[in-house]
Amino acid sequence: MPTWSHELPPSAKHNGFDLKRTPADRPLRAIVTSETFHVCFTHFWGGRTVPCERPDCEACANQSPARAHCYLSAMDPATRDHFLFECTAKAAVPFQDWLQTYKTLRGCLFQALRPKRRRNSPVEILCKPADLTKITLPLPPDVPLAMCVIWQLPGVAVQSDGALNSIPLTTVRSEVTDRMRFNPADCLPSAPKRNSNGSTP
């Protein structure tokens, strides 16, 4: 017998969130869905972006520079694609200014672009209020947890307990990631599957 329902099947795409950065050749426009952004220091290490695990960090021990990155969730109003957005702390200053005025980033329509149109060139972000009369924003994910999926860390490996200029600061607990590294079998049942492109040049 055929089975009918009124529910569309979940998209074939993975259940996690994609991580987007500002493209070189065109602006990225989206509406922030998270209340704020999260800051985490990262390295480009082993061919991909990984969170810094200071004070016990292999990348730091090898003199790899750590850079502060800012993460938030956002929705493309044209496609309704809900994703995680990453930019440098320097590029994120307009978000911080916005927070000081409006207290929440949710509903902030932003455009991010690279004026020099080169990969990894500086990003400029412009913010303005979104017209929310015709758009319903989805509920935001837990951004540090969603980043764990992208970084292939169990959720218990991160905690948001600090703040940088009142922005939640995510730290990585190296006792957990060490356990994964040295006893990976212990962590397998809860280890999220890699489901997005976590690498950067």
Q: How far is CA 44 from the centre of its chain?
A: 15
Residues that bind Zn ion (CB under 5 A): 52, 54, 57, 59-60, 66
Of residues 96, 46, 38, the one with CA closest to residue 70: 38
Q: Which is nearer to Zn ion, 66 or 169 (CB)?
A: 66
Least distance from C-beta 168 to Zn ion, angstroms?
Answer: 19
Least distance from C-beta 64 to Zn ion, angstroms?
Answer: 7
Least distance from C-beta 90 to Zn ion, angstroms?
Answer: 19
Least distance from C-beta 85 to Zn ion, angstroms?
Answer: 22
Q: Which is nearer to Zn ion, 32 or 57 (CB)?
A: 57
CA distance 32 to 17: 14
Q: Which is nearer to Zn ion, 62 or 136 (CB)?
A: 62
Token pair of 121 as six digits: 């060139």
Q: Which is nearer to Zn ion, 23 or 65 (CB)?
A: 65
With beta carbons less than 8 A apart as the criterion, state whether 140 and 168 touch.
no
Strands (E), 100-177: 108-113, 124-129, 158-164, 167-172
Whole-angstrom Cα Rg for the chain: 18
